[in-house]
């Protein structure tokens, strides 16, 4: 995750540059249930409204939670599928909060209602993220349910009314890129605390539909809008968080934005970006799926490190006999092509390995969604071969 707002803050009130980020345990995104009332076009978990046998029961979830705590995992993001479809979701969330985890709920928002908002508020989630992939029909088409937009927005409003920190998550493809300006207006009008802009990752239905990924020019335009909007808020002294996910080239793109607008701040921001360190899959971000399988992140369900029913998460996470994990934990990562030659590898860390792997079979190939030009990353294109 790339926190644009934090870097904007650095432009105004620079903080000391520390060593590369190295938190105690990884942030764990936990898909507790795969069932979902929606069947979104891009869904990495290929969720649907049916039972998926073999999911962890409450007791198993609690056992894993104890291990995660002992392993010093700081954050649990409870996700799915639709996590609110899990009957014991509030028991799980309450216990997690009681144990001192930072607990986020990752929901499509359609099932947040008058009937459960008191329970949601009572748990004290640190953050509730609701997906909105466009305005009205765009969102409904993307999420394949008429009325989904209205239901999700109603859920967001209920959270706001109860004082819960709430954010919108938006994944951009060619189908909904035109709605980004409208969504940014919506989050302003609704007083929504956070906007998470996600690039498409090539996993599950998102891989099947990867031809809908935006062209690099559209991605750049979206990033320009996002950076300018975030800076606008910062200048007005208004607090709103802007973060991005699934494309660590965003860090380098921000550096270029800073070079144009605030050339005297480039060296500080560059140092801060290096401290952030780019892609964190397999290092600072982990995933446990509904069956208890552990993956380097949510987009690697086709690569399993083992199952928490058989071995503790802590053991699986530190087992470097898995070549993918060994490579992800290596610094610098053994990336190839443009990524290997990039002058900013220490900022972005080679970006998203899943896309490279899905396209070429090689997890270390260059990320096809890096939208920076060869010139921008300091790579000279060989146009002529001299004989």
Ligand X SMILES: C[S@@+](CC[C@H](N)C(=O)[O-])C[C@H]1O[C@@H](n2cnc3c(N)ncnc32)[C@H](O)[C@@H]1O
Give the nearest distance from C-beta 131 to ligand SF4 in angstroms.
Answer: 6
- Looking at 29, 33, 43, 325, which residue binds ligand SF4 (CB under 6 A)? 43
- Please choose which of ligand SF4, ligand X, none residue 169 contacts, taking the beta carbon within 5 to 8 angstroms, the exact cut-off set by kind: ligand X
- Lookup: tokens for 224: 């320009």
Is residue 47 close enough to count as binding ligand SF4 by CB under 6 A?
Answer: yes
Is residue 38 close enough to count as binding ligand SF4 by CB under 6 A?
Answer: yes
Is residue 83 close enough to count as binding ligand SF4 by CB under 6 A?
Answer: no
Is residue 82 close enough to count as binding ligand SF4 by CB under 6 A?
Answer: yes
Give the nearest distance from C-beta 199 to ligand X in angstroms.
Answer: 7
Give the nearest distance from C-beta 38 to ligand X in angstroms.
Answer: 7
d(CA 272, CA 30): 29
Residues found near ligand X in the complex (CB under 6 A): 36, 42-45, 79-80, 82, 106-108, 131, 169, 171, 198, 200-201, 203, 206, 246
* Pairing of β 27-33 and β 2-3: unpaired
Name, in order, each residue with C-beta under 8 angstroms of 329's C-beta and a sequence gap of 6 or more: 282, 283, 320
Residue that the structure tokens 């001192």 belong to:
100
Is residue 81 close enough to count as binding ligand SF4 by CB under 6 A?
Answer: yes
Phi, psi values for residue 293, rounded to 5° = -75, 140
The footprint of ligand SF4 on residues 122-151 (CB under 6 A) is 143
Count CB neighbours of 74 within 10 A: 16
Q: What is the DSSP letter of 214?
A: P
d(CA 305, CA 324): 9
- Please choose which of ligand X, ligand SF4, none residue 39 contacts, taking the beta carbon within 5 to 8 angstroms, the exact cut-off set by kind: ligand SF4
- Lookup: tokens for 214: 């935006």
- The packing angle between helices 148-161 and 180-190, to 10°, is 30
Q: Is residue 30 within 8 Å of 41, Cβ to Cβ?
A: no
* Residue 261 CA: distances (Å) to CA of 217, 269, 312: 20, 12, 49
Which range in 79-87, 121-129, 233-241, 297-305 contacts ligand SF4 by CB under 6 A? Answer: 79-87
- Please choose which of ligand X, ligand SF4, none residue 214 contacts, taking the beta carbon within 5 to 8 angstroms, the exact cut-off set by kind: none
Is residue 287 close enough to count as binding ligand SF4 by CB under 6 A?
Answer: no
Binding site for ligand SF4 (CB under 6 A): 36, 38-40, 43, 45, 47, 80-82, 108, 143
């Amino acid at each position: 995750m790339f926190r644009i707002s934090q870097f904007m803050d650095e432009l105004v009130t620079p903080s000391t540059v520390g060593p590369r980020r190295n938190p105690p345990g990884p942030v764990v995104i936990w898909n507790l249930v795969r069932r979902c009332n929606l069947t979104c076009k891009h869904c990495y978990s290929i969720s649907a409204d049916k039972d998926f046998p073999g999911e962890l029961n409450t007791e198993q979830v609690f056992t894993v939670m104890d291990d995660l705590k002992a392993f010093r995992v700081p954050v649990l993001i409870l996700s799915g599928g639709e996590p609110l479809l899990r009957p014991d979701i509030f028991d799980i969330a309450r216990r997690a909060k009681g144990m001192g985890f930072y607990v986020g709920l990752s929901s499509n928002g359609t099932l947040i209602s008058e009937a459960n908002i008191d329970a949601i508020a009572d748990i004290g989630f640190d953050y509730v993220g609701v997906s909105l992939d466009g305005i009205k029909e765009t969102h409904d088409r993307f999420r394949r349910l008429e009325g989904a937009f209205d239901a999700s927005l109603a859920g967001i409003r209920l959270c706001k009314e109860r004082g819960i920190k709430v954010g919108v998550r938006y994944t951009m493809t060619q189908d909904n890129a035109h709605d980004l300006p409208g969504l940014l207006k919506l989050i302003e009008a609704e007083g929504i605390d956070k906007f998470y802009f996600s690039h498409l990752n090539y996993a599950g239905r998102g891989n099947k539909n990867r031809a809908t990924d935006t062209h690099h020019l559209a991605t750049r335009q979206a990033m320009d809008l996002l950076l300018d909007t975030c800076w606008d808020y910062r200048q007005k002294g208004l607090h709103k968080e802007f973060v991005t996910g699934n494309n660590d080239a965003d860090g380098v793109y921000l550096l270029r934005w800073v070079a144009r607008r605030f050339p005297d701040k480039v060296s500080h921001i560059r140092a801060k970006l290096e401290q952030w360190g780019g892609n964190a899959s397999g290092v600072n971000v982990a995933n446990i799926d509904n069956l208890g399988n552990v993956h380097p992140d949510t987009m690697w369900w086709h690569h399993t490190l083992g199952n928490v029913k058989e071995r503790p998460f802590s053991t699986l996470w530190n087992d470097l006999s898995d070549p993918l994990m060994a490579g992800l934990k290596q610094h610098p990562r053994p990336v190839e092509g443009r990524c290997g030659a990039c002058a900013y590898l220490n900022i972005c860390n080679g970006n998203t390995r899943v896309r490279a792997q899905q396209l070429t079979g090689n997890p270390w190939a260059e990320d096809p969604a890096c939208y920076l030009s060869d010139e921008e990353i300091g790579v000279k294109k060989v146009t002529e071969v001299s004989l």
